[in-house]
With several copies, the nearest count.
Chain A
Amino acid sequence: MATIRVQSEDFDAAAEVDALIAGRRDVGAVVTFVGLCRDEGGRLAALELEHYPGMAEEEIGRVVAEAEARWPLMGAAVIHRSGRIAPGERIVFVATASAHRAAAFAAADFLMDYLKTRAPFWKKEHPADSGAGGWVAAKDDDDRAAERWAR
């Protein structure tokens, strides 16, 4: 059973990892990823994260199911925040648990690449000066990163 949540509030990465491995003695490797809001050299006051309620959770679920089909995972968690997020704050959390490190690393890396290109979230920048905010453009890099996993 994977943990999948979209929420406006912050998350506790340590508590999520503890829940993932609680009572288990067969997990040998846990990889976590935390994505944070950068201030882009002081240019950024905040990010606004918009998402497609319902589909966001469902799509993350499909991405997690794909990861579970590809690697022998003993647990996985994805938490993605929505709403206004200030520089230094956490945006996204991914955790994977497996018997061995190669599967845990690959699955976490894959989850992030697929979330970036498939999960219906959009970032708008609120600049530190009074200028108008702008929607972040999708990166070709992210598409290429996701294509690494094509079968």
Chain B
Amino acid sequence: MKAVYFAWVRERIGKPEEEIAPPASVATAGDLIAWLAGRGEEYAYAFEQPKTIRVAIDRTHVKHGAAIAGAREIAFFPPMTGG
């Protein structure tokens, strides 16, 4: 699946998107945040406050408890500040 990052999540990780292949034990958006946080210090920095991170699966907002099975694109970003 494709992971995409925005705003300071993108800046901290250092890339806007990447293909990821989490193990089967990673079932929810929250699991995926924890798994990504373990991939290196830039990820640990981006996800240091997991509760702050918003997630969208296939361009729809989801909660951290949402299942990621079947997702093609998962986005991680800070709370929105548009408008």
Find the A residue at minimum CB distance from B16: A50
- Are A80 and B82 neighbours in the complex by a CB distance under 8 Å? yes
Is A38 part of the binding interface, using a Cβ–Cβ cutoff of 8 Å?
Answer: no
- Are A122 and B83 neighbours in the complex by a CB distance under 8 Å? no
A-B CB contacts (within 8 Å), total count: 73
Collect the chain B residues with CB atoms within 8 Å of residue A124's CB: 7
Interface size on A, residues (CB 8 A): 30
Contact A138/B82 with A52-B6, A118-B61, A122-B7 known, Cβ cut-off 8 Å: no
Is A3 part of the binding interface, using a Cβ–Cβ cutoff of 8 Å?
Answer: no
| CB neighbors of B among A43-59 (8 A) | 49-52, 54-55, 58-59
Could you say which of B4, B75, B82 contacts A49, with CB atoms under 8 Å apart? Answer: B82
Contact A136/B77 with A54-B59, A55-B59 known, Cβ cut-off 8 Å: no
Is B45 part of the binding interface, using a Cβ–Cβ cutoff of 8 Å?
Answer: no
| CB neighbors of A among B31-83 (8 A) | 56, 59-61, 75, 77-83
Closest beta carbon of chain B to A17's beta carbon, Å: 18
Is A121 part of the binding interface, using a Cβ–Cβ cutoff of 8 Å?
Answer: yes
- Are B82 and A115 neighbours in the complex by a CB distance under 8 Å? yes
Find the A residue at minimum CB distance from B75: A52
Which residues of B are at the interface with A, using a C-beta cutoff of 8 A? 4, 6-8, 56, 59-61, 75, 77-83
Listed A/B pairs (16) with beta-carbon separation below 8 Å: A35-B83, A52-B6, A52-B59, A54-B59, A92-B83, A101-B83, A116-B80, A120-B56, A120-B75, A120-B82, A121-B83, A122-B7, A123-B81, A124-B7, A135-B8, A137-B79
